[in-house]
């Protein structure tokens, strides 16, 4: 190779590396936008089976889309105007209950002794824990970090509200324009393989849609049952904890158990001198977890996405590690889509060799 050829090869290689770095930087910068668009597309694919079901029942497609869009907006508006005031009221009451408990003792030592009488010292040494917290708060640097963390949480909450609104608008647009998007995408495929591609794409869309509907139904069932169960038990703030149960149930594998532990611990914190309510709530969630693990969850996975249990666990863990909560949510239908492609494209191609 001549010096001129080597220089040209090095220059092209350097330009390739620079282009890759620019693409990576652009993807990193646009990560939030890509996440919004991806999650909106995920939700739109989940709503598409409802639209198609209405069309199959002789409802004109524009009317079917309008019905689904109005229903989505109605749910969103109902959540904002009906549920949020209740949640705010119950969060305020929860704060006041905890504050009343903390101020019901004449001294910190009296409160620590009362808590230690309930909690075995082998499980938790309350005095040492309080001393560690006081030592941590005595450091000005830690206080500054806490203040910065509070500001970060506030900014994150505002960004979350904006992101939810943008995702809702994108979802509605994608539900309306999904057939046009699919038609354009199909035209990019060679005519010789277009029919097979359309068939596989329809199966992928159906698997994603069934998963979204199934997971949403599971979360709604957990939220509604939690509300009625805690109301019957006489637990505090049932609407607030029903919302927590619903949100956590949307997360695969660990979502329900994490939300259940949070609810039980908070119920105990509301009135630690009377743990009966928290125990009954824990018993309810132990029963519900068995039903979800052996009845509801397998039904959704086997009928909706048809993904083996091992792959469900691997996909959820990998998605959570790569993209956090949203990654864990979309990982399972993505794994189902990959399995469909493997079964209907890669394996037949290997068999023909």
Q: What is the pLDDT of residues 252-280, one digit of tens each?
A: 767 788 888 888 888 877 766 677 888 88
**What pLDDT is recorded for position 19?**
82
**What pLDDT is recorded for position 83?**
62
Alpha-carbon distance 346 to 351, whole Å?
9
Angle between helices 191-233 and 238-249 (to 10 degrees): 150
Q: For residues 74-96, give the mean pLDDT.
A: 68
Return phi, psi of residue 343, to 5°.
Answer: -70, -35
Distances (CA, A) of 353 to 197, 323, 350: 20, 37, 5
Of 12-16, 24-28, 65-69, the range with the lowest mean pLDDT is: 24-28
Residue 84 is encoded by which pair of tokens? 């949020």
Q: Is pLDDT above 70 for 229? A: yes
- Nearest alpha-carbon partner for 295 in 348, 219, 237, 218: 218
Q: Is pLDDT above 70 for 28? A: no
In the DSSP assignment, the letter for residue 246 is: H
Q: Is pLDDT above 70 for 336? A: yes
Q: What is the pLDDT of residues 121-165, one digit of tens each?
A: 767 777 777 777 666 656 666 555 555 554 554 555 566 667 777
Distances (CA, A) of 187 to 48, 179, 184, 219, 288: 20, 12, 5, 38, 48
The domains of the chain are located at 30-181, 196-348
Q: Is pLDDT above 50 for 332? A: yes
Q: Is pLDDT above 80 for 282? A: yes
**What pLDDT is recorded for position 151?**
52
Q: For residues 80-105, give the mean pLDDT.
A: 67
**270 neighbors 98 (Cβ within 8 angstroms):** yes
Alpha-carbon distance 298 to 306, whole Å?
9
Q: For residues 291-300, give the mean pLDDT.
A: 75
Determine how many CB atoms are found less than 10 A away from the CB of residue 279. 14
**109 neighbors 126 (Cβ within 8 angstroms):** no
**What pLDDT is recorded for position 335?**
75
Of the chain, the percentage scoring pLDDT greater than 90 comes to 0
Q: Is pLDDT above 70 for 289? A: yes
- Nearest alpha-carbon partner for 36 in 206, 168, 177, 214: 168
**What pLDDT is recorded for position 150?**
47
Q: Is pLDDT above 70 for 284? A: yes
Alpha-carbon distance 61 to 48, whole Å?
11
**What pLDDT is recorded for position 302?**
65
Q: What is the pLDDT of residues 162-213, one digit of tens each?
A: 777 787 788 888 888 877 888 888 888 887 777 888 888 887 777 777 777 7
């Amino acid at each position: 190779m001549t010096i001129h050829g080597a220089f040209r090869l090095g220059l092209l290689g350097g330009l390739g590396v620079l282009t890759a770095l620019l693409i990576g930087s652009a993807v990193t910068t646009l990560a939030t936008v890509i996440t919004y668009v991806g999650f909106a597309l995920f939700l739109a694919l989940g709503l598409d089976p409802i639209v198609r079901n209405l069309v199959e029942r002789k409802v004109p497609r524009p009317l079917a889309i309008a019905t689904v869009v109005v229903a989505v907006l109605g749910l969103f508006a109902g959540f904002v105007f009906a549920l949020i005031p209740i949640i705010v009221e119950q969060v305020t009451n929860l704060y006041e209950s905890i504050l009343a408990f903390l101020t019901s003792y004449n001294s910190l030592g009296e409160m620590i002794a009362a808590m230690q009488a309930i909690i075995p010292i082998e499980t938790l040494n309350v005095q040492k824990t309080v001393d560690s917290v006081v030592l941590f708060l005595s450091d000005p640097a830690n206080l500054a970090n806490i203040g910065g963390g509070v500001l970060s949480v506030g900014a994150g909450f505002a960004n979350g509200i904006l992101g939810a609104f943008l995702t809702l608008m994108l979802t509605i647009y994608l539900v309306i324009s999904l057939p046009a998007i699919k038609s354009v995408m199909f035209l990019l495929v060679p005519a010789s393989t277009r029919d097979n591609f359309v068939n596989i794409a329809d199966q992928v869309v159906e698997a994603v849609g069934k998963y979204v509907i199934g997971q949403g139904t599971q979360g709604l069932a957990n939220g509604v049952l939690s509300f009625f169960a805690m109301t019957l038990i006489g637990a505090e703030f049932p609407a607030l904890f029903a919302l927590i149960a619903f949100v956590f149930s949307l997360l695969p594998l660990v979502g329900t158990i994490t939300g259940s532990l949070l609810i039980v611990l908070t119920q105990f914190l509301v009135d630690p001198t009377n743990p009966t309510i928290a125990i009954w709530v824990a018993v309810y969630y132990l029963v519900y977890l068995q039903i979800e693990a052996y009845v509801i969850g397998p039904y959704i996975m086997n009928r909706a996405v048809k993904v083996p249990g091992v792959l469900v666990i691997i996909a959820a863990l990998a998605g959570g590690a790569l993209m956090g909560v949203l990654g864990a949510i979309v990982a399972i239908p993505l794994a189902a889509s990959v399995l469909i492609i493997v079964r209907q494209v890669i394996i037949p191609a290997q068999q023909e060799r």
